[in-house]
Structure 1
Amino acid sequence: MTVAIAPLTAEHIPLAAQRYDRWFARARRPPSQRSWLADGPVRGEELLGKLIGVPGLEACRALDGDGGLTGHLAAVPVDLLPDDPAGLRNHPHSALIPHGGHALPGGRESEVLRALYARVSARLVAERRLVHYVDVPAGESAGLPWADLGFGRELVHGLMAVKARGRQPRGVEGLAIRRAGVGDLPQIGRMAAESSRRQRESAVFQPQPERALAALRMYYADALGDPRSAAWIASRRGEEIGMVLLVPATPDPVIPEFCVELAEAYVEPSARGEGISRILLATALAWAYDNGHRYMSARWYSASPLSAGHWPAVGFRPVAYRLSRTLDGRIGGPPGTY
């Protein structure tokens, strides 16, 4: 069956939001998800309302046989400067389909998505945007239609319930934990940059431009002076060997209210395997609970040999994925060369 495609404009937002809310309610809670993982506010109309005003947005809608809106797709252009820390996790000339940016009808997900993506991706490629990202909830039904198009999991977005202090991890001999402040920016920045730099290695293989790493060293200056954020440094025998940093989390369809984000965590390679990360996390969780947070979020690369096993092991459960597709760079060459 042929799917009719038409532009998505502001007048279509109310109906598109209804379709999104309905689709997301089906897609975001897989049967295996633990009952304590609260749902974030969907707010389809709010999400779509913000998207429609983004300059350069590529958006279209799918129509049923009667001409009614049955699905939509909206891609936001991503353009980053060489010294933007966001470039450490994103291609500097790419496109993102964020939460709210797509909704599909039940029973025809792959068929409708193929038609929508064919239209939108043609425009993206014409702009030489060859890296495409999409945010999806962790349920299998949300990711399968994208897998049919060649998208794979790249980033995992996890969530953990923050509870009152329970059993604490075993101590590490000679380890000291202290709260970090504004004066600790050099140490926090150094470890954040070192953590990011290691994403160049197997099997993540993510470019980490030096200018963006240099900017990351200064990036958390405001957070270290913000009472809504908190950081701790672990040291032993006068050597600073680890840190953890929390910042406020913005509620969205996969992030509930009263949530704090684990923005950075690092332990020197020579000190790993001793339980230092667990002690830092336990310290952060205690602060989060005492400050009214009931959830903690974190993001990690699905291909990371360290993070992909560690964060689920300490209690984070996937609630969303960022999928990605990278098109062959020869596409823009002469016809017949790709």
Structure 2
Amino acid sequence: MTVAIAPLTTEHIPEAAQRYDRWFTRARRPLSQRSWLADGPVRGEELLGKLQTAPGLEACRALDGDGNPIGHLAAIPVDLSADDPAALRSHPRSALVPHGGHALPSGRESEVLRALYVRVAARLVDDRRLVHYAWVPAGETATAPWSDLGFGRELVHGLMAVRPRGRQPRGVEGLGIRRAGPGDLPQIGRMAAESSRRQRESGVFQPQPEGALAALRLRYADSLGDPRCGAWIASRRGEEIGMVLLQPAVPDPVIPESCVELAEAYVTPAARGEGISRVLLATALAWAYDNGHRYMSARWPSASLSAAGHWPAFGFRPVAYRLSRTLDARIGGTPGTY
């Protein structure tokens, strides 16, 4: 069946938003999670409206043989300086398909996405953007069409229900937990940078520029003085060996309104395996519940040997994945020479 490609412009946003809302409701997560996870606000029109104003947007829509719109794809350019903390998790010159950036017809997902991506990717490559990211809800319906294009899971977005205090984890001998404040920025920043630096290792192999790590040390200055945020430091025998930091989460199609984000968590390698992380997280969960939060979100690299098993064991379940595709750098040469 024929798929034609046409520009996606402002007048097409309301229709595209309705199509996105229907697609996302169908694809948002596996059936096994629907019994306990709250839905985030889909707000397709709001998401697409923001996308339409993004500088450098590459967007198009798919039409069937009768000229009816059946899908869309929109990618925004990502340009990060070497000292931007965001460069610790994303390539500094890349492109991102965010939530709201694509919707596909049932039964023709791979076919339509392929036609859309061929058009958008060609423009991205012409602009020397060879790393492409896409946020999709967890589940085969959303991920399979991207897999057909060579995309793989790279970052996991997990969600966990926050419940009233139940059975607390067993204490760790000699461990003290205290609430962190603005004066603890050096300790929080140091541990956040140490946590991030470990992503250089196998099998994540994510570059961690020193300038961005230096900026990360100062990133949470405002959070430590914000009553909407919470941070705790674990100490033993006068040594600070762990921390956890929570911030308000931004609601989106996979994140409900009453959610707090696990922005940072760290335990020094020499102290791991003793249950310190569980004590820190239990403290954070109790604070979150008392402050009206009913869900907690976290993100981790899918290739991380420690994180990939650690956070699901605590109860975080995948609700979205950031998929990625990195093209061969030789593709930037003269056509026919690579």
TM-score by length of 2: 0.99
- Residue 36 (structure 1) shift: 1.5
Equivalent residues of 2:96, 2:132 under 8 A apart: yes
Equivalent residues of 2:2, 2:65 under 8 A apart: no
Distance in 1 between residues matched to 2:178 and 2:337, nearest whole Å: 58
**Alignment deviations for residues 259-285 of structure 1 (CA, whole Å, 9 cap, x no partner):** 000000000000000000000000000
- Residue 32 (structure 1) shift: 1.6
- The answer for the alignment partner of 1:312 in structure 2 is 312
- The answer for the alignment partner of 1:235 in structure 2 is 235
1:61-140 matched pairs, under 5 angstroms: 61-140=61-140
Distance in 2 between residues matched to 1:34 and 1:122, nearest whole Å: 38
Q: Percent identity?
A: 85
Q: Which amino acid aligns with 2:33?
A: Q
- The answer for the alignment partner of 1:145 in structure 2 is 145
Equivalent residues of 2:232, 2:243 under 8 A apart: yes
Distance in 2 between residues matched to 1:335 and 1:138, nearest whole Å: 37
Distance in 1 between residues matched to 2:103 and 2:186, nearest whole Å: 44
**Alignment deviations for residues 17-40 of structure 1 (CA, whole Å, 9 cap, x no partner):** 011000000001311215111010
**Alignment deviations for residues 161-195 of structure 1 (CA, whole Å, 9 cap, x no partner):** 00000000010000000000000000000000000
**Alignment deviations for residues 76-113 of structure 1 (CA, whole Å, 9 cap, x no partner):** 10000111000000000000000000000001100000
Distance in 1 between residues matched to 2:303 and 2:297, nearest whole Å: 19
Q: Secondary structure at the match of 2:31?
A: coil
- The answer for the alignment partner of 1:214 in structure 2 is 214
Q: What stretches of structure 2 of length at least 5 have no aligned partner?
A: none
2:4 is the counterpart of 1:4: yes
- The answer for the alignment partner of 2:46 in structure 1 is 46
Q: Secondary structure at the match of 2:145?
A: helix
Q: What stretches of structure 1 of length at least 5 have no aligned partner?
A: none
1:169-188 matched pairs, under 5 angstroms: 169-188=169-188
- The answer for the alignment partner of 1:24 in structure 2 is 24
Distance in 2 between residues matched to 1:318 and 1:121, nearest whole Å: 27
Distance in 2 between residues matched to 1:223 and 1:102, nearest whole Å: 33
Distance in 2 between residues matched to 1:303 and 1:32, nearest whole Å: 23
2:247 is the counterpart of 1:253: no
- Residue 129 (structure 1) shift: 0.3
- Residue 335 (structure 1) shift: 3.5
2:331 is the counterpart of 1:331: yes
Q: Which amino acid aligns with 2:128?
A: R
Q: Which amino acid aligns with 1:220?
A: Y
- Residue 2 (structure 1) shift: 2.7
**Alignment deviations for residues 181-240 of structure 1 (CA, whole Å, 9 cap, x no partner):** 000000000000000000000000000000000000000001101110010000000000
- Residue 319 (structure 1) shift: 0.4
- The answer for the alignment partner of 2:155 in structure 1 is 155
Runs of 4+ in 1 over 4 A off after TM superposition: none
Distance in 2 between residues matched to 1:236 and 1:253, nearest whole Å: 41
Equivalent residues of 2:83, 2:211 under 8 A apart: yes
Q: Which amino acid aligns with 1:285?
A: L
Segment of structure 1 superposing worse, 29-38 or 107-116: 29-38
Aligned positions, number: 338
